Amino acid sequence: MGAPADRPWPGTEAEAVAEQERIRRAADLASPGPAPGEVDRIAGVDVAYDPGSDLTVAAAVVLDAATLEVVEEAVHTGRSRFPYVPGLLAFRELPGVLAALEKLSAPPGLVVCDGYGYAHPRRAGLAVHLGVLTGLPCFGVAKSPFAFSHTEPGPRRGDSSPLLDGRRDPPEVVGRALRTRSGVKPVFVSAGHGIGLEHACAHTLRLTPRHRLPETTRGADGLSRRVLAEIARDRREPRGAARG
């Protein structure tokens, strides 16, 4: 898994920060984007990491937007080349994700990321970055509030509260804490490239008929983990004549 052919991949944190400034300037942060019903295929992407090595498996799972059934899957195995640094997650995850997306027979109409988009120190989180690199509408659904603040949303599914960046003088709304299941901890939704917060939240609710997390991220998470476990097993119990 390499870097995207047309953009330099940073080797240092300073370069990564500079690249994020460029990504933000290139991003479409204003379009309302596709509403539910206006896209046929929605993809979820995620990456699994091997604790004992630098092996990674990225997965892209495409769902039928109406039935939420899996219609296509793709994976890409590679090696992590960038450490996890809060605020720079995209540089660790995107190379593999891009490679997996390219293996799909056709690009999806929308991509859901496991992490943030606009809700980011430089407004260039994973979903914004992936959107700029692919040109696809893309938003983020994260499991924890990162460095942002929020008040507890109402207790029922669909209730929400603003996610705020308190590091700004007038605290800015960067996303939404959204309850996808009654009585269960909310998820944190933020806009990305080519889709606004309103539609991102609407899609998130459509994608969570029965679980806290969207079916897209559940699918991608499960697939990347299964493939990684498979590779790890084959290493311990080699099959066939292949070796080394």
Partner DNA sequence: GCGACAG
Partner DNA sequence: ATCTTGTCGC
Q: Do the annotations mark residue 40 as ligand-binding? A: no
Contact 124, 130 (CB under 8 A): no
Reference 45, options 209, 230, 224; nearest CA is 224
According to the binding rule CB under 7 A, does residue 143 interact with DNA?
yes
What string marks each residue from 215 to 234 as x (binds DNA by CB under 7 A) or -? ------x---x--x------
How far does CA 99 lie from the centroid of its chain? 14
Nearer to DNA, 71 or 212 (CB): 212
Nearest distance in Å: CB 106, DNA? 25
Reference 6, options 17, 22, 29; nearest CA is 22
What string marks each residue from 12 to 51 as x (binds DNA by CB under 7 A) or -? ----------------------------------xxxx-x
CB atoms within 10 A of CB 170: 5
What string marks each residue from 100 to 139 as x (binds DNA by CB under 7 A) or -? --------------xxx---x----xx-------------
According to the binding rule CB under 7 A, does residue 9 interact with DNA?
no
How far apart (Å, rounded) are the C-alpha atoms in residues 141 and 210? 16
Q: What three-state secondary structure class fits 98?
A: helix
Nearest distance in Å: CB 242, DNA? 24
Q: Could you tell me how many residues make up the chain?
A: 244
Nearest distance in Å: CB 68, DNA? 18
Nearest distance in Å: CB 62, DNA? 19
CB atoms within 10 A of CB 91: 24
Q: Do the annotations mark residue 50 as ligand-binding? A: no
Number of residues that bind DNA (CB under 7 A): 27
According to the binding rule CB under 7 A, does residue 8 interact with DNA?
no
According to the binding rule CB under 7 A, does residue 97 interact with DNA?
no
H or E element in which residue 226 lies: helix 215-236
Query: Which residues share a beta bridge with 67?
Result: none
Reference 188, options 143, 221, 154, 218; nearest CA is 143
Nearest distance in Å: CB 140, DNA? 6
According to the binding rule CB under 7 A, does residue 168 interact with DNA?
no
Residues 6+ apart with CB under 8 A from 237: none
**If you search the block for the tokens 């460095």, which residue do you land on?**
147
How far apart (Å, rounded) are the C-alpha atoms in residues 146 and 154? 20
Nearest distance in Å: CB 113, DNA? 8
- Output the known binding site for Mg(2+): 46, 114
Return residues touching DNA (CB under 7 A): 46-49, 51, 84, 86-90, 114-116, 120, 125-126, 140, 142-147, 221, 225, 228
